[in-house]
Amino acid sequence: MTADGLAISAKGLTKHYGKLVAVDHVDLAVPRGTIFGLLGPNGAGKTTIIKMLTGLSDITDGTATVAGFDVARDPMHVKQRVGWVAAEVILDDDLSGWENLWLQAKLQHLTEWKERALQLLAYFELTDRRKDKVGTYSTGMRKKMEIALALLHQPEVIFMDEPTIGLDANVRRMLWELITGVNRQFGVTVLLTSHYIEEADFLCDHVAIIDHGKFVAVGTPSELKARVRADYVELETSEAVTPAKLEAIAGVTSVRQQGSTWVLRVSSAEEVLPRLFHTLATDGIRRINVEKPSLESVFIDITGKKIDQAGPDVQDYRKFYASVRRARQ
């Protein structure tokens, strides 16, 4: 830890991939023992930040200190003090839980690890299953095992890249409790990335909202939400509606179209909804959704788009597969 009480700090952190600026002059200050979230759409630069902070990817410009060591000058010391829980499964299914821990200890040249391993197994309630092959574990147990592996060498900081992606709601909830528990019980600082609004809101002491490589807002979830003095109404209708018709409704302060959805910024959903129903009575409201101040509306407020629907990666992906299809024809 640095004298300033920060587990992670970065100034002007930047990453270029050729001409692409994946991370653009980001400043980070993560107090020791807290949970910090990077929230943003596909391709925003979240994973790239983690890669730079863990020494996996060179820093193009700027500086970063993790667990008291400069990442560019002292990557080995950083690596010894951080853990990584990747979205991809890192477990060996043919080995038991205990053998996975043993393998992890081998890979990291740990000598004193058994006591810690037993403590982790007990904490994650896996003691009884430690001799069973990990291939027989449930999704939740596998997640616990992955976190146990990342904690084995007693890191000061753990990085979790999309820890709950692809999990069903129950396992996701369980994992939220686990991450909070690990943070409190082991005093470990957590930096995680997420697309999920509720996840960042529930878990994180501080959140940075990231878009196109830049931090567009940083603060506690409640600070960020307090900035938005508006509700958002998302609307789909079966008849074509003009923006002018929506803008004319009292209390509607802005109107944007995203695909087939209208996104209205309104002073108060309670006041505006009756007027909206009245005005659109003949246009066939197909779907309506009210977004009260949330980290999602913070993102919409700043960037003009929703987190889930935004992002170049989906388009890149579609472009890529379109070109593959064309090549095969």
Ligand X SMILES: Nc1ncnc2c1ncn2[C@@H]1O[C@H](COP(=O)(O)OP(=O)(O)OP(=O)(O)O)[C@@H](O)[C@H]1O
Options 45-53, 76-84, 151-159, 274-282: segment touching ligand X (CB under 6 A): 45-53
CB-CB contact of 27 with 11 (8 Å): yes
Residue 237 engages ligand X in binding (rule: CB under 6 A): no
The count of C-alpha atoms lying within 13 angstroms of the C-alpha of 77, restricted to the half-sphere facing its C-beta, is 11
What order do you get walking across the sheet with 261-266 strand by strand? Answer: 252-258, 261-266, 231-237, 285-291
* DSSP single-letter state for residue 144: H
Q: How far apart are the first and last CA of the chain?
A: 57
Query: Please, which residue, 46 or 212, has the CB nearer to Mg ion?
Result: 46
Residue 97 engages ligand X in binding (rule: CB under 6 A): no
Contacts (CB under 6 A) with ligand X, residues 22-41 = 22, 40
Residue 17 engages ligand X in binding (rule: CB under 6 A): yes
Kindly write out the interface string for residues 46-75 of this chain, putting x where it contacts ligand X by CB under 6 A and - elsewhere: xxx---------------------------
Shortest distance, position 329 Cβ to ligand X, whole Å: 26
Q: How far apart are CA 23 and CA 260, in angstroms?
A: 31
Residue 42 engages ligand X in binding (rule: CB under 6 A): yes
Query: Please, which residue, 42 or 63, has the CB nearer to ligand X?
Result: 42
Query: Please, which residue, 43 or 293, has the CB nearer to ligand X?
Result: 43
Query: Please, which residue, 10 or 22, has the CB nearer to ligand X?
Result: 22
CB-CB contact of 272 with 233 (8 Å): yes
Q: How far apart are CA 67 and CA 69, in angstroms?
A: 6
Binding site residues, ligand X, CB under 6 A: 17, 20, 22, 40, 42-48, 195, 313
